[in-house]
Structure 1
Amino acid sequence: MITRLIALVVALACLFGPVRSSMARDAAGAPHVLTLRQVLDAVAAAHPQLEAARERVRGAEGDALAARGGFDPQLRVRGQYAPIGAFANGRFDVELRQPTPLWGLQVYGGWRLGLGDFAVYDLRAKTASGGEVRAGVSLPLWQGGPIDRRRADLQVTDLGRRAAGADVDVRLLELERAAARAYWAWVGAGLRLAVQQRLLALAEDRDAALRRQVAAGNTPEVEGLENRRAILERKGRLVAAERALEQAALELARHLRDDGGAMVVPMADRLPPAFPEPPAADPLEAALSDALARRPELRRVLLQRDAAQVEVHLARNNLSPRIDLDAYVAKDLGLVAPEYRYLLPAEFVAGISIELPLPLRIARGKLRRAKADRARLDAELRWMTDVVAVELRDAHSALVAAHARVTLAREQLQVAHALEQAERRRFELGDSTLLFVNLREQAAADAAAQELDALTDYHRAAADLRVAAGRPP
């Protein structure tokens, strides 16, 4: 069977690229038992789908960085030179403007130079020989005061970054759940294979003795034929069990990866010797309240809802008239001709501007859209809360049922083993036939397989329940 697995792994490596078998060994050369913790660590470290989710977080971090760029200082430079014409002059203006998150306040400072001849209506462009320095503030009094696009983008992108992080947690839980289910299916398949191997070994161990007894005339020939029939039947069951283990190992390899991200097919020698003992399920009530606080899907939708609320706040503010206050002080430096001495004193200028699109269709339309997005997310949150509750109750019910099945399967296995041993003693005393012995042995093997199926279902249900509660399996 191990040879089959090795051949299958080699074929996969040739056909599909970097797939390898697990060969972890301890210092003495014995293979390490593969644990669920190792599988989950491999998922968290190198699973491609998880890496894709993390790239979305990096993309959201880039959006947040771009939003912070809305508060970068802005440098503006303008120059103009007219050497020929009615008024030969030159102009140069440089301004540095800094937006702030404080009520939309912007501060700015600049320097301009205007030399030459200017028309009477353009004398404000003229400066002293050293130019004019200025500093001022611009403050929105209504629209753009409580919130503006820059500050909304800061909040929305920060919430988007956190929502992307919650999406990584969602994907990780999904992958860990799938990995845990695949791991327990692999363990169950390996232990069922061991049951079939033991069943075949019983028939093969009897075969040589039966052949001698038939040849000596002490046992009817039909008993030897019955044993050989049982051997062939059990070999067929063994082949099917080997195939099931190979299939389970390949399914687990989708989640088990090395440090480089290549799939690792676990070998049969890394199977644990038995399932862990299944404890009884905890009460459901505490898990339900815990799940609503832990599930990353709910956290993601809550963050998206908060982002939609920011857009509603912005859209409502944009319905207000835009009233901006601008004030600055300026001072010319250097020398001027006597007729332009009025340029030298410092000046203070304050102004106000009002702007209001009368139909407000853009603002009203954006507010309607923002409210619709918020209502949609509210509905999704209610639905997901119900889904979480149903998933948790279903997983808890499955766990309770699986635990009961394990108890019943173990009782059935004890009875089947007792019948098997009793039938074997009757056969040794000549009171039974090998047909009945084989039937009892097969019934005991079936009971062992049912116990393993129940244990597999139990541990998979336990993983489902922990994931439904927002915890790693």
Structure 2
Amino acid sequence: MLIAMAIAIVSFHQPPILPLESFLFQVELRFPKLIGAEAERLAVTAKRRAKQGAFDPQITLGTESLRYNSASTRGKASAGVSNELGIEVATPQGLKLATGRSWNAGSVKSPDSATGSDGSYFLYAKLPLARGGGINEKLVGLAQARLAEPAATLNLAGLRQNTLLEASLTYFEWSGAVQKLQIARKLLDVGIFRATGLQKELAKGLQAAITLTEAEAEVERRRANFIKAQRDLDKATLKLSKFTWDGSDLFKLSPAPLRQPELLAESALAEALQRARDLRPELQLIALQTESTRLEGKLAQNDLRPAVDLVFSPSADLGNKSVGGAYKFGVTASIPLYQNDARGRREEALQKEQKFTREAELLQRTIELEVRDANSAIQRSQERFIAAQERYAKTKKVEEGELKLFQAGLGTLFLVNQREQATAEAGSLLIDIQVEYEQAQAAFLAASMSF
């Protein structure tokens, strides 16, 4: 039975390797969250286009037929027809422009509507001199929509870095679990092989029954550890499957080997810090949010001013009974008695700007610490790996020596098992350090926007 199990375990073959680069490429190409973020970015562009619609030219057309009791000929019905066709547009600076033609027939009700037989051709301009001049709600809405476009692009860039980082960390967990399973498998193979040999020696009367019992107990302990390592691998594989959307079956693939830790170049930290300051989307997002808030503050400040609008509309009246040149000129004013709305919005914008300033200061420090922390993790993992390598070499040497003593009848199986377990633990520690190193490298890349 033990020999059959050993053959089943040894028959394991190496599946195809899934390189990290290929894996991350598929994540970037197919991960739903990234695809959704791209759709959201396009939606922001569509919203900006909608805000531009506030300044689209408009064609106006109106016609009106009247039958009424005229004040000048009371008791006698009067009738008239009024028509108007024009084009009007509002500019982002608040200026409203229009041009068109009006023509009326019959007894029009209002003297202002009278035109010659060929109608009246007019221009119209309304210019805000105070409130709404240079800045207005529609202009701020469009400006904020334009700021939202680079903000959406930055959000996508940040999400990409975070997604690739999470995927990389999970990939290395998977890689470590694969290698730990190999150690557990090898340890179990050795235990089964030794128990099989002792069984044969017992049949020849060369070993005590208690020694075989101890060997078989050790096999069962190692089998339990092997099953635990298999479960850890299953867990890591399923966790990694969250990022595979190309139909890959990770249970039929294996990761690339973990690298031995190496120190970064001396200039790498300074370059990473500068790159993080220049490219980290969080800092740029804070700047865009601050600019958007400043626009709100400027609008609120402008709304504290009275509404004073200048209206000028020259026209040419043509045809029979026309008067030739005509015009309309006037000024309208509106002065609010209370300004709680504008004052409150202005104060809110000022406080938000202060908040963003402090957040930017904290974010700069946080980003710098993230880069330095990842660099420290890389350096310490390299130092730990050297120490762990030395430990592994010595435990392996002790294991080999203990096995020779046992084979010479000078040692015990218990000590052999203990030495083999110590070697396996030292090997697992090397794998843990390699995983930490790879994850620190991934964190360093993400912190410096280098994915």
Provide TM-score, normalisation by structure 2. 0.88
Query: Paired residue for 2:16?
Result: 32
Between stretches 462-471 and 240-249, larger displacement belongs to 462-471
Q: Residue deviations 1:174-208, cap 9 Å, x none?
A: 22221111110000000000011111111222233
Seq. identity, %: 26
Pair 1:223-2:214 in alignment: no
Query: Paired residue for 2:86?
Result: 95
Distance 1:53 1:201, change over 3 A: same
1-structure distance, mates of 2:305, 2:59: 30
Q: Residue deviations 1:421-446, cap 9 Å, x none?
A: 22222233333222222221111111
Alignment size in residue pairs = 429
Query: Paired residue for 2:8?
Result: none
Unaligned 5+ residue runs, structure 2?
A: 1-13, 71-77
Query: Paired residue for 2:263?
Result: 280
Pair 1:53-2:43 in alignment: no
Q: Residue deviations 1:151-174, cap 9 Å, x none?
A: 211210111122122222222222
Q: CA deviation at 1:282?
A: 4.7
SS in 1 for 2:262: coil
Would you say the 8 A contact 1:190–1:268 is kept in 2?
no
SS in 2 for 1:93: strand
Matches within 5 A, 1:398-437: 398-437=377-416
SS in 1 for 2:18: coil
1:459 to 438, 441, 447: 438
Would you say the 8 A contact 2:61–2:85 is kept in 1?
yes
Query: Paired residue for 2:59?
Result: 75
Unaligned 5+ residue runs, structure 1?
A: 1-29
Q: CA deviation at 1:410?
A: 1.2
Distance 1:32 1:299, change over 3 A: farther
2:348 to 366, 369, 377: 369
Query: Paired residue for 1:114?
Result: 104
Between stretches 386-395 and 226-235, larger displacement belongs to 386-395
Q: CA deviation at 1:455?
A: 0.8
Q: CA deviation at 1:84?
A: 4.4
What amino acid maps onto 2:87 in structure 1?
Answer: L
1-structure distance, mates of 2:250, 2:196: 36
Query: Paired residue for 1:347?
Result: 326
1-structure distance, mates of 2:127, 2:390: 81
1-structure distance, mates of 2:15, 2:335: 77
What amino acid maps onto 1:305 in structure 2?
Answer: T
Pair 1:358-2:337 in alignment: yes
What amino acid maps onto 2:272 in structure 1?
Answer: A
Query: Paired residue for 2:7?
Result: none
Q: Residue deviations 1:123-152, cap 9 Å, x none?
A: 231111221111233332333232222221
2-structure distance, mates of 1:108, 1:269: 69
Matches within 5 A, 1:266-277: 266-267=250-251, 269-272=253-256, 274-277=257-260
Between stretches 410-419 and 350-359, larger displacement belongs to 350-359
Distance 1:361 1:77, change over 3 A: farther
Q: Residue deviations 1:334-357, cap 9 Å, x none?
A: 3x2xxx3xx242334443333332
SS in 2 for 1:75: strand
Query: Paired residue for 2:195?
Result: 207
2-structure distance, mates of 1:361, 1:93: 41
What amino acid maps onto 1:239 in structure 2?
Answer: I
Pair 1:164-2:152 in alignment: yes
Distance 1:282 1:324, change over 3 A: farther
1-structure distance, mates of 2:347, 2:60: 37
SS in 2 for 1:81: strand
What amino acid maps onto 2:63 in structure 1?
Answer: G
What amino acid maps onto 2:47 in structure 1?
Answer: D
What amino acid maps onto 1:309 in structure 2?
Answer: R
1-structure distance, mates of 2:228, 2:117: 98
SS in 1 for 2:316: strand
Between stretches 181-190 and 457-466, larger displacement belongs to 457-466
Would you say the 8 A contact 1:82–1:90 is kept in 2?
yes
Would you say the 8 A contact 1:294–1:471 is kept in 2?
no
SS in 2 for 1:88: strand
